[in-house]
Amino acid sequence: MDKMDRKIINTLQGDFPIDDHPYQIIAEKLNIEEDELLKRLEILLDNRTLTRFGPMYDIQKLGGSFSLCAIRVPSERFEEVTDIVNSFSEVAHNYEREHEFNMWYVLATESLAQIDKTNHSIEEKTGLKVYNMPKIQEFFVGLHFQA
């Protein structure tokens, strides 16, 4: 990753234009050719410096539901439980954390009922208690990572 890659990442953290030639607009801002921008973006996505490029939808504003859920997984069962939890398409993210509550996943579903239904299935398949912790209030979502 060189200086231009960093500049691209910092520039593209929001406000990508809805226009016939959006990459052209960004390339002009960065003072590079459109082809070079496209090539670099492709590489940054391929090597996973970027996990995604495109619109970020807010599922709650679209009528869907989100929830953060935690499980205390016995260490000897960690892999098995990971496979079970990850097999649900409703599980959008799943992180291992250093704590007795060591598995934290985010459910993204189209209704509140599906959150409960999915957690119920996860409890049945794993035999472990799911701690469902949907947000009660949001105080802040943001922070731009400086590359």
Q: How far is the CB of 47 from another protein (least distance, A)?
A: 8
Q: Which is nearer to another protein, 76 or 136 (CB)?
A: 136
Which parts of 36-55 interact with another protein (CB under 8 A)? 38, 41-42, 44-45, 47-55
Which range binds another protein by CB under 8 A, 19-27, 111-119, 120-128?
19-27
The order of strands in the sheet holding 65-71 is: 103-109, 65-71, 130-133
CA 121, distance to chain mean position in Å, is 22
Residue from 110, 112, 123, 125 that binds another protein (CB under 8 A)? 110
Helix 3-11 with 22-30: angle, nearest 10 deg: 130
Q: Convert residues 70-109 into a mask of x (bound to another protein by CB under 8 A) and - (unbound).
A: x-----------x--xx--x-xxxxxxxxx-xxxxx--x-
Q: How many CB atoms lie within 10 A of CB 41?
A: 18
Residue from 2, 3, 31, 61 that binds another protein (CB under 8 A)? 61
> Which own/partner pairs from 19-22 qualify as long-range (CB within 8 Å, at least 24 positions apart)?
none
Q: How far is the CB of 22 from another protein (least distance, A)?
A: 7
Regarding 14 and contact with another protein (CB under 8 A), the answer is: yes
Burial of residue 3, with CB atoms counted within 10 A of its CB: 0-12 exposed, 13-18 middle, 19 or more buried? exposed
Q: How far is the CB of 23 from another protein (least distance, A)?
A: 6
